[in-house]
Structure formats: C-alpha cells, structure tokens
Amino acid sequence: NAGVTQTPKFRVLKTGQSMTLLCAQDMNHEYMYWYRQDPGMGLRLIHYSVGEGTTAKGEVPDGYNVSRLKKQNFLLGLESAAPSQTSVYFCASSSISYEQYFGPGTRLTVT
C-alpha cells in the first residue's frame, strides 16, 4: 500500500500561472481533504470531499478549485497563482474524520 501520494513534490510558479496538484489514495477512504500550511503555522483546510463527486469549502477556499471525479483521486487547482499561495500543501484521506492519513506534501513557491 502506497497510502496517500501527492504529485508533484515541489513546484515553482510565476504569478498568474495555473497548476493542478494531484492526490491519490489506495485505502478506499470516503473522505479526502486539502490543507495548506504556512511556516510555523497550523493546518488550514482549503476544500474537502465526503465522497466521489462531492466537494465542499473549508476555511480558506478562495483562489482554489477542486474535483473528485474518482474515489481515489482528489485534485486541487490554482487558476491564477499569487505569491500569497506560496505554502506547503498537504492532502489527507480518512474513513473517520478524526483519524486522517496525510500525503508527503507539495512545496509550492509563487514568484
């Protein structure tokens, strides 16, 4: 079992560029989440999904979009990147909300 994987691991974007982060899980979990973590800070929820075909907004959804077309995949899109979106992005999945399994993270820099 690979658990939760994230692609890519690192990325540098210029302001205004777009990109998609891919999260995949092989644990058959219903719930999937996208978080961002800024230096010395906690995790802030961007969007989440409680099942295939469903998505919902978290604490900081502005500037991001998500899709969950397949149960095992959860995509996070940045349509027009801004320097404020420089962060580490973590994906997580769970069968129960309180026990989440995290991917290794994507380190994104927007210049």
Partner 1 sequence: GQSLEQPSEVTAVEGAIVQINCTYQTSGFYGLSWYQQHDGGAPTFLSYNGLDGLEETGRFSSFLSRSDSYGYLLLQELQMKDSASYFCAVAPPASKIIFGSGTRLSIRP
> What residue ranges bind partner 1 (CB under 8 A)?
31, 33, 41-45, 48, 50, 56, 58-59, 90, 92, 97-105
Determine the Cα–Cα distance for residues 65 and 73; give it in Å rounded to an integer. Answer: 14
Give SS3 for 18: coil
Q: Which is nearer to partner 1, 35 or 81 (CB)?
A: 35
Instruction: Write down the least CB distance from residue 72 to partner 1, Å.
Output: 18
Q: Which is nearer to partner 1, 16 or 59 (CB)?
A: 59
Instruction: Write down the least CB distance from residue 19 to partner 1, Å.
Output: 20
Q: Which is nearer to partner 1, 19 or 45 (CB)?
A: 45
As a whole number of angstroms, the longest Cα–Cα distance in the chain is: 37
Instruction: Write down the least CB distance from residue 78 to partner 1, Å.
Output: 20
Residues β-bridged to residue 37 = 43, 88
Instruction: Write down the least CB distance from residue 75 to partner 1, Å.
Output: 18
Q: For residue 104, give both structure tokens.
A: 């290794």
Determine the Cα–Cα distance for residues 71 and 48; give it in Å rounded to an integer. Answer: 13
Determine the Cα–Cα distance for residues 86 and 110; give it in Å rounded to an integer. Answer: 5
